[in-house]
Amino acid sequence: MPVTVEIPGTGWQDRIEAVFRYFAHVEETFSPFKATSETSLINRGVPPAELSDEMQEVMRLATKAKAETDGYFDVYHEGKFNPVGLVKGWAVHHAAEVLRHEGVRDFYIEAGGDIQLAGLNEEGGYWAVGIRNPFEWQEVVKVLYLSDTGIATSGTYVRGEHIYDPHSSEGGAADIVSLSVIGPNVYEADIYATAAFAMGPDGIYFIEDQPGFEGYMIDKDSCAVMTSGLEHHLRAPWVATSTGVAR
């Protein structure tokens, strides 16, 4: 999947390369398509306790996410272990930690639509993130102004139906086409976006009940519903900078 890393200013190439090396490591460790990955080892019967600390962390987070979402988020499907739905946002979150460890305070990291934002953009303002119209990809229906937060979108308009309701014999949540969630960090936003999408039309109310999270849902009839606090992110705040004031 495409990965984008943006750091305002110059002289950050080595930090950006460190992020891409980290993503390559994550791919080798967790990909269900690589025979040598730890995911494949688990599916061949190797106990997670015999694998890396990273895998054990992901397993703990997966157990926690399943409990918090009443089973709507589950890394097992038809008996196979596939942590990609958790690892994507988790990897972006840890890539952000790589940059922070190197002293980078302003950045944008995106992997397959999961985004972690920190600090300010090149102009000294909050990062602007668009929510696409799932029926017209070139159209942006909302612009959110974000800093020090994560955002993730679950939907069927790019990858087709791949999110399933574990409590229904009918499988997918056919009434929803896009659900974006803002959270304190990208991996939690990603988990809740996936779980809420699987819940169908009630998923947006699940997000409403989660402290620190906001959501924007579009259904198959092009109707949109957003949580009560999302409006706060629809206005570009005034931000003081070293050269004056930027929006």
Task: Report the predicted TM-score, pTM, of the whole model to 2 decimal places.
Answer: 0.89
Burial of 172 (0-12, 13-18, 19+ CB in 10 A): middle
Q: What is the pLDDT of residues 111-146, one digit of tens each?
A: 988 999 999 999 999 999 999 999 998 899 999 999
Residue 216 contacts by C-beta under 8 Å, 6 or more apart in sequence? 131, 142, 179, 180, 224, 225, 226, 227, 230
Domains for the chain: give ranges and CATH numbers: 3-246 (3.10.520.10)
**Range scoring the smallest mean pLDDT among 18-32, 109-123, 153-167, 211-225:** 153-167
- Tens digit of pLDDT for each residue in 141-175? 999 999 999 999 998 655 545 555 666 655 555 68
